[in-house]
Amino acid sequence: MEEYTQQEIEDAKRVSILDLIQRDYPMVKDGAHWWRADKKNGGPDSLTCNDQSNLFTWWAHNEKGADTIRWMMRYAGIGPMGFREAMEFLLNWNGASVSRAAIRAAARQEKKPYRPIDVEIVDFYHECLDDAGYDWWTRRGIPAPYVDQLKLGATQNAYTLPIRNVFDAHQSILNIKYRNKHAGATPRYWQEEAHGVQLYVPHMNVLRYPYLCWAGGEIKSIVLSINGIMCASSTGGIDTWMPEWSPFLAGKEVLLLPDPGEEEQAERLLKKMAGDCKNATFRIIHLPHDPDDCLVQHNMPVSLLRHLIGI
């Protein structure tokens, strides 16, 4: 990881995902997405990509909103490769073999980098939070001081949660996660697709501990962390993983905390993580309830939850 700058990683992600997939599979366009032509049936083996967001989804492999690096490491027809090999391929490929400087220049010409979310938008949503909004966050286990500190907010139809960039120590905001206010409504959560999924931690000090819990959702990460149980998540669900996150897990004991019923997803996630993080250890912890619900809904003492997790 240390060999590449964040700019180089972004350059690698801007190589056309459609061009990469079409090296191995015929693709046809339908609406905003391209579909694998011989599997265009909406079934579990459907492979799709979006040439605007430059991300792909392959349900059979539980990949949702994954990027070019993930494609090259796991699915490219030339065979599985490590992170370094994938980066070298992407930084030196533009339909042919070219230099890193050329691929960066071509990427900038073809598509502008995604700009971080304007902090004024986050401030605006936070200022829109009324007493009922504070009450909603509090009932989810996040007291008002933390609501203010994390700039949690609301719109007319959703509650908002800013996703800060761990690669620049939370100096910029990469995305905003929205949680539908209407019970039972679909979708329940959404975010800006073009920004893909990110590693989420409520505070950077979460990553300074010798262990790291991993749960399926940002609110779970917040609730556990503010109670002294350091927890991270992805913005795409418990089983979403990106290889460029692996340095943040280096040398840690990683404790996966799936919700009841998500044990299979946790097993798949463990395989992904272990394949990319050779110097970390992993355990799956089976809790009686969702990790945050143990504290918020079932009034479990924090000491007992720590004991069940083993920290």
pLDDT cut 70: percent of the chain above it = 86
Q: Which of 57-61, 113-117, 286-290 has the highest mean pLDDT?
A: 286-290
Rg (CA), the chain: 20
- What average pLDDT does range 40-56 have in this prediction? 79
Whether residue 179 is predicted with pLDDT greater than 80 in this model: the reply is: yes
* Element spanning 65, H or E: strand 63-66
- Residue 290 to residue 303: CA distance in whole angstroms: 16
Number of residues that make up the chain? 311
Which of 98, 51, 90, 52 is closest to 69 using CA atoms?
90
Whether residue 300 is predicted with pLDDT greater than 80 in this model: the reply is: yes
Where residue 310 falls among pLDDT bands split at 50, 70, 90? Answer: very high
Q: What is the CATH number of domain 115-196?
A: 3.90.980.10
Position 91 scores a pLDDT of 83
- Domain ranges for the chain, please list them: 6-110, 115-196, 200-311
Let me know if 184 is exposed, middle or buried by CB neighbors in 10 A (0-12, 13-18, 19+): exposed
Output 114 or 250, whichever has higher pLDDT: 250
Question: Which residues does residue 254 pair with via DSSP β-bridges, in sequence order?
Answer: 212, 282
Output 19 or 98, whichever has higher pLDDT: 19
Position 94 scores a pLDDT of 55
Which of 48, 56, 46 is closest to 13 using CA atoms?
56
Residue-averaged pLDDT of the chain: 85
Whether residue 236 is predicted with pLDDT greater than 90 in this model: the reply is: no
Q: In this predicted model, what pLDDT tens digit does every residue of 156-168 receive, in sequence order?
A: 899 999 999 998 8
Position 254 scores a pLDDT of 97
What is the maximum alpha-carbon separation in the chain? 59
Position 51 scores a pLDDT of 84
- Taking domain 200-311, whether its CATH number is 3.30.1490.20 is answered by no
- Residue 97 to residue 108: CA distance in whole angstroms: 18
Position 44 scores a pLDDT of 60
Output 195 or 274, whichever has higher pLDDT: 274
Domain 6-110 fold is DNA Primase; Chain A (3.90.580)
- Residue 72 to residue 19: CA distance in whole angstroms: 12
Position 42 scores a pLDDT of 56
Which of 58, 16, 10 is closest to 239 using CA atoms?
58
